[in-house]
Structure 1
Amino acid sequence: MANIASPSDALFTAQPGNLTQPGTAAPAQAFRLTFWGVRGNIPAPGADTVRYGGNTSCVEVQVGGQQLIFDGGTGLRMLGRHLMAQEQPVAAHLFFTHTHWDRIQGFPFFAPAFAPATQLDIYGAQAFNGASIKQSLMDQMLRPNFFKPLQTMAAAMTFHNIAAGDAIALGDVLVEPWSLNRHTSALGYRVSWGDRVLAYATDTDPTQTSVDPNLLMLASGADVLIFDGTYADAAYSDPNGAGLVPWHLGIEVAQASQVKHLVLFHHNPCHTDDQLDQLERQVQASFAQASLAREGMTLDLISESVE
């Protein structure tokens, strides 16, 4: 597998993967990221999005024997199929950044949630309208939006209302939610295990004129920063996504926080594979240790302090 870290600091290995057969589960003493959905706002299937993928946000993290999932966009359906094919009970921790549709629309199609042997711990902040994470997920499954209510899910589900500043210990793994965006009540997450750190920051506030100090602390010293850097507010009014692109902010955060590798995520659904290839070249010209997320891509963080 190709090394994507600098030659002097081989912390990562990477492989493209494949959504239908993404490989075997990570060993217990591992820190592995797999991208199951990388688009923002709406799924973007089609011939010109095959290489990067068209599913909305979902990232699987296998770390320290724990199964973590960040966001439940349409990529969650594919992850669910993969987990069910392993023919063993699923026990996972599902963390939501916020409850915009592209982060939750895969949840009603997550097959393990309908299996009685599944154990799901589900985490999220109070939504901007005051709804708990459980209420937000229930609401999208009520008629006329969906044909099966959440109560038909047979899994053992425990809902956790969390907020920035909490610390969630899962064995040797520490998950810390951070406030990212006052407009959406979105959370970022910092995952620590041994001497390795993942920062997940995918709904930052693009209206700020300078880097949020809170974001710098979230990303500080991270081995990998997953950053919402390829979707500009201008794309809402311009179907081609023209205008300022906030990947510059991702580089600024990565450099200021001494991040080892930056992964840009939540791609504009209007951007084709060729456009994203061009964007990746632009980004890497400014920050060599950067890449754009692709569905099925895995990253292995090699820990030196956990045996």
Structure 2
Amino acid sequence: MSAPFEVTFWGVRGSIPCSGPATARYGGNSSCVEMRCGDRRLVFDAGSGIRQLAATMTGPQEFDLLFSHFHYDHVIGLPFCAPLYRPHTRCRLWGGRTGMETGVRQVLSDFMAAPLFPLRLDFFAGNLSFHDFRPGESIDLGDGIRLQTAALNHQDGATGYRVEFAGRAACYVTDTEQPEGRLDPGILRLIDGADLFIYDCTYTDEEYPAHKGWSHSTWQEGMRLADAAGVGTFAIFHHDPGHDDDFMDGVAAQAEQARPGTIVSRDGMSLML
């Protein structure tokens, strides 16, 4: 029996967390996705959803936290990740140098500094290590986990990830905009034949012209990428905070008709690859 490869969505919104009865079913937390590769835990982004993930992490913990980029909606939950305050936690934090020379440690230190937040980065009592890389690099995480990375087209830069483990592959590609009139060749290479493709679907094709240049994509564009790359399951992700549950139901219905098996991610949803 092959080792388990499980993906859980803890935050699926983009731009800003949103809560209330209109978003209760799909969820209002900002980006956070967990991948369990056997006994290893990889966490992608520290949006507000990481607080719910942290509540499940009792006792000594070891995990990798990988950032797509450092806009507030993707780091806002970091100070509320309870295991980081425990001395028996070991966490490796990863970030791509995307058009800036400042490393992940300095970026997060600046974020958790006056007057933006009352607790400093050094309040974390866990054993933290900080790792910078250039998007496009391949990283061996050990335990049979291989990480491929790619630069994304996003304001201030962003990184897309492909996790390969036990003969399967899951891709986390959020906060990007497709080149006009064509599909991003770097993303196509990254997601080629992947079992799961999680993608920034902030807008619809109809909404996109009013937001061109805002560094986000559409679920239809994600579907075109998935089809071109021979992806297994396509996961719609990074929902616009203005898209309530009824709107997302409509997207889910259209997506299922256009590409059966497509999923619309929800807070708390788990998939076994």
Q: TM-score range by the shorter chain?
A: over 0.9
Determine the structure 2 residue equivalent to 1:273: 245
**136-145 or 162-171, which deviates more:** 162-171
Determine the structure 2 residue equivalent to 1:289: 261
Q: Please give the root-mean-square deviation of Cα atoms over the aligned residues, in Å.
A: 2.1
1:260 maps onto 2:232 in alignment? yes
1:137 maps onto 2:108 in alignment? yes
Structure 1 residues 244-263: Cα deviation after superposition (integer angstroms, max 9, x where no partner): 97111111111111101000
1:224 maps onto 2:224 in alignment? no
Offset at residue 182 of structure 1 (A): 5.5
Distance 1:129 1:160 in 2: 15
Equivalenced residue count is 267
Offset at residue 204 of structure 1 (A): 1.7
Name structure 2 gaps, 5 residues minimum.
none
Determine the structure 2 residue equivalent to 1:23: none
Distance 2:93 2:134 in 1: 13
Q: Which amino acid aligns with 1:82?
A: T
Q: Which amino acid aligns with 1:83?
A: M
1:166 maps onto 2:119 in alignment? no
Q: Which amino acid aligns with 1:272?
A: D
1:79 maps onto 2:53 in alignment? yes
Q: Which amino acid aligns with 1:262?
A: F
SS in 1 for 2:151: strand
* Contact 1:99 1:127 survives alignment (8 Å): no
Offset at residue 127 of structure 1 (A): 4.8
SS in 1 for 2:159: strand
**206-215 or 257-266, which deviates more:** 206-215
Distance 1:41 1:294 in 2: 16
Distance 1:138 1:127 in 2: 17
* Contact 1:40 1:231 survives alignment (8 Å): no
TM-score after normalising by structure 1:
0.82
Distance 1:116 1:62 in 2: 22
Offset at residue 64 of structure 1 (A): 2.7
Offset at residue 163 of structure 1 (A): 1.5
Determine the structure 1 residue equivalent to 2:84: 113
Q: Which amino acid aligns with 2:27?
A: G
Change over 3 Å in CA distance of 1:160–1:245 after alignment to 2: closer
Determine the structure 2 residue equivalent to 1:29: 3
* Contact 1:183 1:205 survives alignment (8 Å): no
Distance 1:252 1:207 in 2: 13
SS in 1 for 2:190: helix
* Contact 1:64 1:173 survives alignment (8 Å): no
Structure 1 residues 147-194: Cα deviation after superposition (integer angstroms, max 9, x where no partner): 110011101000000112322222111111111125332100000012
Match of 1:208 among 180, 184, 202: 180
Offset at residue 91 of structure 1 (A): 0.1
Which residues of 2 match residues 6-155 of structure 1 at below 5 A? 29-84=3-58, 88-155=59-126
Determine the structure 2 residue equivalent to 1:194: 166
Q: Which amino acid aligns with 2:5?
A: F
Name structure 1 gaps, 5 residues minimum.
1-26, 239-243, 302-307
Structure 1 residues 77-130: Cα deviation after superposition (integer angstroms, max 9, x where no partner): 11111113xxx2110000000011111111011101100000000000125443
* Contact 1:64 1:172 survives alignment (8 Å): no
Distance 1:200 1:183 in 2: 18
1:183 maps onto 2:130 in alignment? no
Between the aligned residues of both structures, percent identity stands at: 37
Q: Which amino acid aligns with 1:49?
A: T
* Contact 2:154 2:175 survives alignment (8 Å): no
TM-score after normalising by structure 2:
0.92
* Contact 1:132 1:161 survives alignment (8 Å): yes
Distance 1:245 1:225 in 2: 14
Q: Which amino acid aligns with 1:218?
A: L
* Contact 1:280 1:291 survives alignment (8 Å): yes
Q: Which amino acid aligns with 2:124?
A: M
Distance 2:83 2:263 in 1: 31
**119-128 or 226-235, which deviates more:** 226-235
Offset at residue 34 of structure 1 (A): 0.5
Change over 3 Å in CA distance of 1:67–1:28 after alignment to 2: farther
Distance 2:96 2:70 in 1: 9
Distance 1:229 1:35 in 2: 15
